[in-house]
Amino acid sequence: MSEERETRLFMISPRSMLTPDQLVRMVHAFGEEAIVKETCYGCLVEGPRSKVLEIRDKVREDHPNEVFTKCRAYPCSDPRRCRAQHGTRPGFAQLEEEWALLARIQRGLEAVDKGAKPSPREERKKLSVNEFKRICEVQE
Amino acid sequence: MKIFIDPPNSLVLFDLVERFGHEPLSAMAAIQERVDNIEIDMPPMNVTLDDVVKGLKYAGVEVPSGVRGRLAVWGPMIEEAEAAIVMDECPYSFGCVGCERSNLMVKYLLKRRGIPVLHVDYPEDDAQATDLVARIKEFLEGLQ
């Protein structure tokens, strides 16, 4: 991963009361040397990797289960991606789908913080020969 | 530890892996290398000759170019990975932004590597999401 530049996407869970505007103001208030761009789902932060990771940690400290992040390949406002410059914006369909899922993940994280454990999974058993024969006969 | 995530551009998996103290290997980082270091028009839509050759290592020449192109980016990450988390039945990994054949190849390559792999289902409700988070946390903590 590049050490010089990191662009990170911060997405707010739909269950959160935080708005993209509040998130951007909060990131600006950290006073780190990074570009911050407000988006409909949260914000983009771009800067040297160490600074961006500091911002990520501070955001997680204030809003541990409400803001989710991942890195982004293209820089902010890249004409190949940015819609303001008539970019194609591929991948937005996936972001939209995952945005809807974040509400459930937020609840999951809160439950795990309170001590929720994974439910035991049923072990897959081998099919007996008689059962297999019965299935074959039904399909005939 | 380096954890390969599938789908490789998943926000949820990337965030959870980082949150529980590991380094996710994602498609974004691999594409960033191409954006920053190689002057090609629009990765991953455009590829270099090297990418085509790399893709051939994981899938034969008769395999559709979309599968080979994806594997050229994901294959080296699978080789680098020390463990993997696979989310099955993601609605966005099939259709206009996904490729089921590539997903099957990824699962095959992971099995062949023999590294620890956690399979989780795409959560349909809050209880399943809690189970997913708890399962991922338990898996990642067990790796340390």
Q: Which of the four pLDDT bands, split at 50, 70 and 90, describes residue A46? A: very high
Q: What percent of chain B has pLDDT over 90?
A: 49
CA-to-CA separations, B98 to A9, A11, B89, in angstroms, rounded: 21, 22, 11
pLDDT in tens, B75-89: 999 999 999 999 988
Would the CB atoms of A108 and B126 count as touching at under 8 Å?
yes
H/E stretch holding A20 reads: helix A20-29
pLDDT in tens, B18-49: 999 999 999 888 888 888 876 677 776 677 78
In the predicted structure, residue A1 carries a pLDDT above the cut 60: no
Residue A87 confidence (pLDDT): 65
> A96, A110, A95: which is closest to B126 by C-alpha?
A110
A 10 A CB-CB count for A22 gives: 13
Q: What percent of chain A has pLDDT over 70?
A: 91
Q: Which residues of A63-90 are buried (b: 16+ CB within 10 A; e: fewer)?
A: bebbbbbbbbbbbbeeebbbeeeeeeee
Q: What CATH code would you report for A6-113?
A: 3.30.70
pLDDT in tens, A85-119: 766 666 677 888 889 999 999 999 999 999 888 88
Gap between the Cα atoms of B143 and B4, Å rounded: 13
Q: Which domains does chain B have, with CATH numbers?
A: 2-143 (3.40.50)
Kindly state the tokens that stand for A6.
């990191």
Residue A110 confidence (pLDDT): 94
> A42, A56, A49, A54: which is closest to A14 by C-alpha?
A42
List, in order, residues 6 or more apart from A17 with CB less than 8 Å away: none
In the sheet with B23-25, reading across from the earlier edge strand, the strands are: B23-25, B2-6, B83-88, B117-121
Domain ranges of chain A: 6-113
A94 vs B contacts (CB less than 8 Å): 9, 92, 97
Find the CB nearest B12 among A9, A91, A98. Answer: A98
Give the ipTM of the model, two decimals please.
0.88
Minimal-distance CA residue of chain B relative to A117: B134
